[in-house]
Structure 1
């Protein structure tokens, strides 16, 4: 299976934040943009097709100092199964993250998190 055939494009880069209001205000002022989406748990800013995504931390999830690349994929279940067969370590199995949207997160050898996302509408 050639995984690249299932990757449609990148959605954006996600940053975990401890204070959504403060973080959203910072990015509003930094880019002089209004949010594309805005809620207490998730806020996005569209930078000419690439999104800066702010995700409020939950529970014991620590704030990463690296961004998380989010890729839009088709057939998320098949992609995850293939990557697991190759020994890829997933830190979050397929989870519904919004109505009709599912993601799974894995780490590279250095511990950087990458996220696969599929919107099934």
Structure 2
């Protein structure tokens, strides 16, 4: 089901977006871009690293265990079908398919409660044929 995917993003929830931007830009030395969010989510940060993996930072309560989240990129689309298949096989769906910046995402938990995510660009079909 997820055998032909790559890790596209690693998402972090952070308490202070400005402090996080300063740390990852000035201390770590990453090229951090501030992305304009909406009223609900606010601005968020994007930093690209090796192998086309992106670190994404969202302002949300950060506590041990809820971050980071590994995001599998569904380059072929079909997020609804993938999430339905995960649920049928017993995965706990934490967040159903919902709008995300530039596409859709959904979160599910592994047997130990670790949250994983799938994402697809809005350029791909949501249902596979």
> 2 CA distance for matches of 1:27 and 1:85?
39
**What are structure 1's unaligned runs of at least 5 residues?**
none
> 1 CA distance for matches of 2:71 and 2:63?
15
Alignment of 1:20-31 (within 5 A): 20-31=17-28
> 1:80/1:98 Cα in 2 relative to 1: closer, same or farther (>3 Å)?
same
Could you state the TM-score of these two structures normalised by the residue count of structure 2?
0.78
- What is the aligned counterpart of 2:98 among 95, 99, 102? 95
* 1:3 alignment partner, SS class: coil
Could you state the TM-score of these two structures normalised by the residue count of structure 1?
0.82
> 1 CA distance for matches of 2:9 and 2:99?
18
CA contact (8 A) 1:106 1:113 kept: yes
**Structure 1 residue 68 corresponds to structure 2 residue 69:** yes
Q: Which residue of 1 aligns with 2:86?
A: 83
**What are structure 2's unaligned runs of at least 5 residues?**
37-41, 124-129
Q: Which residue of 1 aligns with 2:113?
A: 111
Q: What do the CA deviations read for 1:45-92 (whole angstroms, capped 9, x no partner)?
A: 1112222211111xxxx4243410011012101100100001100110
Aligned length, in residue pairs: 113
> 1:23/1:93 Cα in 2 relative to 1: closer, same or farther (>3 Å)?
same
- What is the aligned counterpart of 1:52 among 34, 52, 55? 55
